[in-house]
Amino acid sequence: MDSNVMQIKPIARIRTDFSEKFGIPRQSGIVAELSARIVFEPDYRDPEALRGIEGFDHLWLIWGFSANRNNDWRATVRPPRLGGNVRMGVFATRSPYRPNPLGLSCVKFVGVEQTESEGSVIIVSGADMLDNTPIYDIKPYIPYADSHPDAKGGFAANKPAESLRVEIPDELLSKLPEQKRGSLVSVLAQDPRPAYQNDPERIYGLCFAGFDLHFKVNGDVLTVLDLSHGSK
């Protein structure tokens, strides 16, 4: 085996509310209300591995774009932040189409839950990942080294504002568990549509927390049309 090639395997899987890619926030931390559970693989369930983790507010997650079925990397990509029509170099973006399909996310550490069946489970918020995404490593966020408030952010310098007003009829919203309502509204307010789609008659479908919902967007108003338990 080539000594320059590294083989890595998942140490954990993250459990989130997203069973499909559509609707996942485009960066971590944008929807702080989103809660997720990091479940370790059996070989890594030693509680000693988490000793001291409670001293940190945030964690770095290194993970894999497991739903990216295109194995070819692309030298240039079209970032959603630029409307999907402008090409930038892949190494100037966070596109999943990379030589090594690895993602990096900063999430808020909420706590550790002790379970009989899964051992020590890390609870985090603000994750931007598909359910069951493989986690390859976890590192603490260290403010003095990792925070650079004056750093230039290129074409993604500013945090995107919630661009849509979300309207969900009470009879539909009541079907969703109360603890999931705020996070769903925030996900929808970020406008999950592809940047190049702006048809007020088009109906979009999104899977969230075990529910299927459909919505339309007219101007700056997103209206949920139906919401039901998912078929999956």
Domain range for 137:
12-156
Residues 34 and 120 in one domain: yes
Confidence of residue 79 (pLDDT cuts 50, 70, 90): confident
pLDDT score of 73: 80
Residue 218, classified by CB atoms within 10 Å of its CB into exposed (0-12), middle (13-18) or buried (19+), is: exposed
Check whether residue 38 and residue 76 sit in a common domain.
yes
Residue type, 52: G
Q: Do 116 and 170 sit in the same domain of this protein?
A: no
Rounded to an integer, the average pLDDT of 107-114 is: 97
Is residue 3 in a domain?
Answer: no
Looking at the structure of the chain, the number of domains it has is 2
The answer to whether residues 121 and 180 belong to one domain is: no
The residue length of the chain stands at 232
> Is residue 176 domain-resident?
yes
The answer to whether residue 209 scores a pLDDT higher than 60 is yes
Q: Is 112 exposed, middle or buried (0-12, 13-18, 19+ CB in 10 A)?
A: middle
Q: Are residues 150 and 44 in the same domain?
A: yes
Q: How far is CA 10 from CA 3, 33, 43, 82, 142, in A?
A: 20, 26, 10, 33, 23
